[in-house]
């Protein structure tokens, strides 16, 4: 007979939910994880992993095209093209492997996986509606909501007849001729560059006047230049008001050719799990304290439902904090010190404060930049497009922010995150000896100023 009482019930099987469930179970708490869809959530199944896998495909194609300039014979750059069905088949294999890995991890930890749609009824009670089966009631001494987020349909409702979701995009049998991405953030910029590098006539429409507005403006400007160079037509500060003939109509009356429109804009917390339950909210999601507690003491929330930093790494970090608090262990995470990664070509990464944030706060700082064109490893690899920027306090020299555009910026940023986490100064950061030649020397040189 299935049990109904648990120490912890987790709602949602994405990076926040599965990390929370596995950690709770490993520390001896009886744990149930409720998921109505696929383990791994958006990130593994239709988000982070598929996108990055396809970006790797177009990156490899570009490497092959440029191979003759490295002295490689037998390559016809003009014959290189993307085999979309083969690339998608590889994505499917990777996603299945990752999803199975997470599921096996949960099983080994002792988590009971409950399939169905969860709804909080209050006082630690969760009702799970299961297809073609009777509803099941779970009771948890503690509940963790990690239900994720869903796209806000409002900005693209007028073009719904041409719209694709992420899952639809990965099921396309072939790449279209004309493709429009809506949005200005990480996902939108990555997807716009992806389809452009795959040979599609790509456009990006965004209501915001700039790309990646949450990051340092120098990274946003870099992203704009990169997308334009790849042939992406940018329509910034524009809205979509309808469709006509071969495309979508913008609010200035212009027509943008579009076989498909991919919505990669604003996402909203999935409120279905706590609908009707009186949990305190702010304008973007559930209110939580630094331990993830909501306004009900037995209910925690992590990840996108809190409306904060909507990334897998932030969700996982917050999940760890919430479970630690349930266990009586002291841990916290400062989202301002969690790195952000954008997998363009080259990559962008950021941690800490931007110049704009420091200026708004009235903090005196020093900005030191180092161009990748001066780095030996970048010259060897012909990856000279980019920079490293270190922002430090003018009085103590403490590192306040690091912003990188480089071929492997998403790896380089971890060193900067460590420096900011432990309050290192730019001089202390620069004192760490690095191998030569290495991309990471750019971080040292930027810190050195």
Catalytic residues: 436
- The residue assigned the tokens 């006082």 is 123
Q: Convert 256-294 to b/e letters by CB count within 10 Å (16 or more is b).
A: bbbbbbbbbbbbbbbbebbeeeebebeebbbebeebbbb
CB 191 within 8 A of CB 164: no
Q: What are phi and psi of 183, to 5 degrees?
A: 140, 165
Q: How far is 234 from 88, CA to CA, in rounded Å? A: 27
What are the angstrom distances between the C-alpha of 154 and each of 48, 160, 241, 254? 23, 10, 11, 20
| Number of C-beta neighbours around residue 113 at 10 A | 16
Cα 250 to chain center, whole Å? 27
Q: What are phi and psi of 435, to 5 degrees?
A: -70, 160
Pairing of strands 233-236, 201-206: parallel
- The residue assigned the tokens 């996982």 is 316
What residues have CB less than 8 Å from 18, skipping those under 6 apart?
33, 39, 40, 41, 102, 105, 106
Q: How far is 219 from 210, CA to CA, in rounded Å? A: 11
């Amino acid at each position: 007979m299935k049990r109904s009482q648990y120490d912890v019930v987790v709602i949602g099987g994405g990076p926040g939910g599965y990390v929370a469930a596995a950690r709770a179970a490993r520390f001896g708490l009886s744990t149930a994880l409720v998921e109505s869809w696929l383990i791994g959530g958006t990130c593994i199944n239709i988000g982070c992993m598929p996108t990055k896998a396809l970006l790797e495909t177009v990156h490899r194609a570009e490497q092959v095209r440029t191979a003759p300039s490295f002295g490689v014979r037998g390559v016809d750059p003009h014959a290189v093209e993307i085999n979309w069905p083969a690339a998608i088949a590889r994505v499917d294999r990777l996603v299945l492997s990752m999803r199975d890995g997470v599921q096996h991890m949960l099983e080994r930890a002792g988590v009971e996986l409950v399939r169905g749609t969860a709804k909080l009824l209050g006082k630690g009670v969760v009702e799970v509606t299961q297809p073609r089966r009777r509803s099941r009631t779970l009771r948890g001494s503690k509940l963790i909501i990690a239900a994720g987020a869903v796209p806000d349909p409002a900005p693209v409702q007028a073009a719904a007849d041409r719209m694709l979701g992420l899952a639809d995009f990965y099921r396309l049998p072939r790449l279209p001729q004309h493709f429009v991405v809506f949005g200005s953030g990480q996902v939108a910029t990555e997807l716009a560059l992806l389809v452009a590098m795959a040979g599609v006539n790509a456009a990006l429409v965004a209501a915001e006047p700039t790309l990646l507005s949450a990051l340092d403006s120098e990274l946003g400007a870099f992203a704009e230049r990169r997308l334009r160079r790849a042939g992406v037509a940018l329509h910034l500060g524009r809205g979509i008001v309808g469709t006509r003939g071969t495309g979508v109509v913008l609010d200035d009356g212009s027509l943008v050719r579009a076989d498909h429109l991919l919505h990669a804009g604003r996402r909203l917390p999935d409120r279905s799990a706590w609908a009707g339950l009186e949990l305190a909210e702010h304008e973007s999601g559930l209110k939580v304290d630094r331990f993830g507690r909501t306004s009900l003491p037995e209910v925690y929330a992590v990840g996108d439902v809190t409306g904060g930093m909507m990334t897998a790494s932030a969700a996982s970090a917050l999940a760890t904090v919430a479970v630690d608090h349930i266990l009586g262990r002291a841990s916290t995470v400062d989202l301002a010190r969690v790195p952000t990664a954008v997998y363009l070509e080259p990559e962008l990464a950021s941690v800490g404060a931007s110049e704009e944030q420091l200026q708004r706060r009235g903090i005196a700082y020093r900005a030191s930049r180092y161009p990748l064109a001066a780095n030996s490893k970048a010259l060897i690899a012909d990856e000279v497009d980019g920079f490293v920027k270190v922002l430090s306090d003018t009085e103590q020299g403490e590192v306040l922010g690091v912003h990188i555009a480089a071929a492997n910026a998403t790896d380089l940023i971890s060193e900067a995150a460590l420096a900011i986490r432990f309050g290192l100064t730019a001089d202390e950061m620069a004192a760490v000896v690095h191998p030569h030649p290495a991309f990471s020397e750019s971080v040292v040189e930027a810190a050195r100023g």
